[in-house]
Structure 1
Amino acid sequence: MNESLNRDKKPGYTMWQMILYMLRLGALGFGGPVALVGYMHRDLVESRQWVSEADYKEGLALSQLAPGPLAAQLAIYLGYVHYRVLGATLVGIAFVIPSFLIVIALGWAYVRFGGLPWMQAVFYGVGAAVIGIIVMSAKKLTEKSIGKDKLLWAIYAVLAAVTITTESEIAWLFIAAGVLVWVWRAPPKWLQRGSANALAVTQLPFLSSLYATADLPLLGQIAAFFAKAGAFVFGSGLAIVPFLYGGVVTEHQWLTEKQFVDAVAVAMITPGPVVITVGFIGYLVAGMPGATVAALATFLPCYLFTIIPAPYFKKYGKVPGVVAFVDGITAAAIGAIAGSVIVIAKRTIVDLPTAVIAICTIVLLWKFKKLQEPVVVAAAVVVGLIIYPLR
């Protein structure tokens, strides 16, 4: 009864307030998926208290379980919490549209002026600052979600180590972590096999063959490829990069190696989800129609994979076995996020100046709690433009 009353209780914010928040986060939220999910926790759970800790953890667990970009899925789920499908839809659009418009503008400039040579200097500074932002976000998530639970710490450490070693996120380990905590804390009387998951797995070869055999015009090929990317790539937005490289550069040869590297750089220096690089790639391949089709095809699967199971997460989220399962997946997700910091840092911290920028970012955000990340990013842009030509 109490749980039902809590679910039906009128939220302390309007749907439009959440939409405006996501618009702002999409326009000013730097640091990639790790930082973005950290900002949502800081702002919506701790500061404004619009979303409960339980709802946030459920959303993070569902986002980590389902394929697609982590931050976008979490935003969609948080929109769903109190305003259901309409809220999820509008919040998802609000979160993605600012960064989409930014990469379209950069795509136009890239095509119009023959490349972006200044981007290397900008990425030099911003990439290092982003590492500092991610470190602080991972620290806050770890302190808040893991606590002193030894089992959760063990899961966290294993997933961090696996992520660092393999430089990828292994989806079944998240599920295994959830099952482990479930069995340990709330041993079930029986274990039900996931028939829905088995059905989904059996469909993968069919969908893959459908994609491979289709002889489509260019926009159709773009839609098919990016829908496959959005549907079958797990983990953070960064996990999609190797998949995109294989299709865009190697298989279809839509972009050159340099153009693809520039596309990834664009994703890293723009706010919002990293996976929005698909808009830039689509623009280079087929202009504005290509960018639109690529973005829609990538984000539609993650939208569906979030709103379809969301009611079941809401309905059964307080059951002890489900709580334990979610705690295990959350610990695994945050461990993978912490490991990804090392993976990204190895590619970004390339010399002493970038190390200094990253350390200074950590110190500043640690010491000045109210310091806004966009201010740090803007300073890093200036530093990069000054230092990079002197290297």
Structure 2
Amino acid sequence: MTRRAPDSPSVPDAPRAISFGEAFRFWLQLGFISFGGPAGQIAIMHRELVERRRWVSEKRFLHALNFCMVLPGPEAQQLATYLGWLMHRTRGGVVAGALFVLPSLVLLIALSWIYMAFGQQPLVAGIFYGIKPAVAAIVLHALHRIASKSLGNPLLVPVPWVIAAMSFVAIWALKLPFPLVVLSAMLVGAVLARLAPGALAGGSGHATTVKGAHDAALIDDDTPTPAHALFSRSRLLKVLAVGAALWLLPMAALLASHGWNGTLTQIGWFFTKAAMLTFGGAYAVLPYVTQAAVEHYQWLSTAQMMDGLALGETTPGPLIMVVAFVGFVGGWAKQVLGPDALFLGAALAACVATWFTFLPSFIFILAGGPWVESTRGNLKLTAPLAAVTAAVVGVIANLALFFIAVVAWPAGGKGLFDAQPDWIALALVLAAALALWRLKWGVIPVIAASAGIGLSLRLLGLA
């Protein structure tokens, strides 16, 4: 069946209405194939939902994506939540967002258990010897990718580069906390939006222009906003009340059973704060998580943090799922349920970290979605977002330098000349970087190859 306009090519009819069961099966499948970080996950959703299934038009898809970019939290998971909500009300959003995370959580708990139970075995230790340099190279590659996209030409638009440099100095030299850096950048962006609107127009960001002709979609450019997606003050208050209850009840239970200083309570509180600061993706908040989890709470070491990042890169779902690894290792190390229940305590800690990290994302989408639907084509939050993204570049640069230092001086030398660097590990960083930049390998092949090389070197006694 086709619909025709006079003297125009035939255009396929919009797809039939999609049942909740059919959508459920798609979101479940997506949870198992969502590799490649946010860019890859968004590309998968675009290919499946816009191009192949035509459940949503490109303009509506990009409008939702721009909103998710402004929010703290994993943008790909929030985009899935938004589209599920738009199609099938609150239950659709909850199912889409939850299935985006659950497969990764189960896999990470299993892999984290193997890591903690058998990580000191020569076989596993050799694998992770090779993985750490790959992680350092991956962070460098992410730095290059984000900087080239968001900062633009320094000669034409220097302000983003200045913000990135100041962010790096603030984190590296002044040791300012990550939240302060992000909030300061957001304030600078808001001021510049009024005084010099073009000062932050450096990066291309997400495309906002769409070609006029396109195949009809179930939710098309001119499809009216569904009744459930219209703004309602009573609905907003209900969402906020339910969200507050879903935060308060678990936190109260942790507080009653473990006390405020208990590891599980502190995991819940810390990852609530982290969830509010994940502007710019997982790499942006990793320095904050690393600084707090390693140095302040001492849930794990920097080397373990790098291993967790590698596991997060090789499992489906958002990269911020590394918080499950942090929670698992912290729960194991602190024996939150006692020495006779190490796995159960660690798995509980991983679930606590995941719950408090992702709960705000659902609240943001379900509470803010109606407002976004009412402001299609009129979002004015790009300048603060651009400033935060520029600051994120400086933060990631600091993280990359920090990880390279850990690889080069695994014993923890305090200065560049305190100990002889591990030249083999540095060579692996260079090899992994070349594979990513020049050979255009994906993240998973790079990690797999690096793990194989590290294992071979350890078995041969060369590392």
Whether TM-score is above 0.5 comes out as: yes
Residue 196 of structure 1 corresponds to none
Q: Per-residue deviation at 1:381?
A: 0.5
Residue 288 of structure 2 corresponds to 239
The TM-score normalised by the length of structure 1 is 0.69
Matched, 1:157 2:165: yes
CA distance in 2 between partners of 1:163 and 1:363 (Å): 28
Residue 322 of structure 1 corresponds to 381
SS of residue paired to 1:127 = helix
CA distance in 1 between partners of 2:48 and 2:431 (Å): 25
Residue 362 of structure 2 corresponds to 307
- 1:379 alignment partner AA: A
Given that residues 137 and 430 in structure 2 are in contact (C-alpha distance below 8 angstroms), is that contact kept between their aligned partners in structure 1? yes
CA distance in 1 between partners of 2:46 and 2:168 (Å): 25
- 1:74 alignment partner AA: E
Cα gap change, 1:108 to 1:297, in 2 (>3 Å): closer
1:186-265 equivalences under 5 Å are 214=255, 216-217=257-258, 221-233=262-274, 234-235=277-278, 236-245=285-294, 249=298, 263-264=304-305
Q: Per-residue deviation at 1:377?
A: 0.7
Matched, 1:382 2:383: no
Matched, 1:131 2:136: yes
Matched, 1:62 2:71: yes
**Which deviates more, 83-92 or 143-152?**
83-92
Kindly tell me the number of residue pairs found equivalent between the two proteins. Answer: 337
Residue 105 of structure 2 corresponds to 100
Given that residues 193 and 383 in structure 2 are in contact (C-alpha distance below 8 angstroms), is that contact kept between their aligned partners in structure 1? yes
Residue 150 of structure 2 corresponds to 145
**Which deviates more, 41-50 or 74-83?**
41-50
Please list every run of 5 or more consecutive structure 1 residues that lacks an aligned counterpart in the other structure.
Answer: 1-8, 30-35, 64-69, 188-206, 250-254
- Partner deviation per Cα, 1:204-235 (whole Å, 9 max, x = no partner): xxx9xx98x94525999454221112112345
CA distance in 2 between partners of 1:217 and 1:318 (Å): 48
Q: 2:430 aligns with which of 343, 359, 374?
A: 359
Cα gap change, 1:246 to 1:126, in 2 (>3 Å): closer
Residue 348 of structure 2 corresponds to 293
Residue 201 of structure 1 corresponds to none
Matched, 1:282 2:331: yes
* Higher RCO, 1 vs 2 (CA within 8 Å, ≥6 residues apart): 1
Identity of aligned residues (%): 17
CA distance in 1 between partners of 2:397 and 2:295 (Å): 26
CA distance in 1 between partners of 2:184 and 2:169 (Å): 12
CA distance in 1 between partners of 2:44 and 2:104 (Å): 20
Matched, 1:172 2:186: no
Q: Per-residue deviation at 1:17?
A: 4.4
Given that residues 84 and 92 in structure 2 are in contact (C-alpha distance below 8 angstroms), is that contact kept between their aligned partners in structure 1? yes
Question: 1 or 2, which has the higher helix percentage?
Answer: 1
Given that residues 57 and 330 in structure 1 are in contact (C-alpha distance below 8 angstroms), is that contact kept between their aligned partners in structure 2? no
CA distance in 2 between partners of 1:225 and 1:93 (Å): 23
CA distance in 2 between partners of 1:288 and 1:219 (Å): 23
Cα gap change, 1:282 to 1:21, in 2 (>3 Å): same
- 2:268 alignment partner AA: A
- Partner deviation per Cα, 1:44-73 (whole Å, 9 max, x = no partner): 57999777566445434322xxxxxx5xx3
CA distance in 2 between partners of 1:116 and 1:318 (Å): 56
Task: Compute the RMSD of aligned alpha carbons.
Answer: 4.1
Cα gap change, 1:82 to 1:15, in 2 (>3 Å): farther
Cα gap change, 1:44 to 1:88, in 2 (>3 Å): same
CA distance in 2 between partners of 1:361 and 1:91 (Å): 34
Q: Per-residue deviation at 1:127?
A: 1.3
- 1:354 alignment partner AA: A
CA distance in 2 between partners of 1:226 and 1:269 (Å): 21
Please list every run of 5 or more consecutive structure 2 residues that lacks an aligned counterpart in the other structure.
Answer: 1-13, 52-57, 199-247, 279-284, 313-318, 410-421
The TM-score normalised by the length of structure 2 is 0.59
Q: 1:372 aligns with which of 442, 448, 463?
A: 442
Q: Per-residue deviation at 1:179?
A: 1.6
- 1:274 alignment partner AA: V
- Partner deviation per Cα, 1:69-112 (whole Å, 9 max, x = no partner): x5xx3233121332235455445444443443344334544665
Q: Per-residue deviation at 1:117?
A: 5.1
Residue 6 of structure 1 corresponds to none
**Which deviates more, 378-387 or 139-148?**
139-148
Cα gap change, 1:329 to 1:322, in 2 (>3 Å): same
- 1:152 alignment partner AA: P
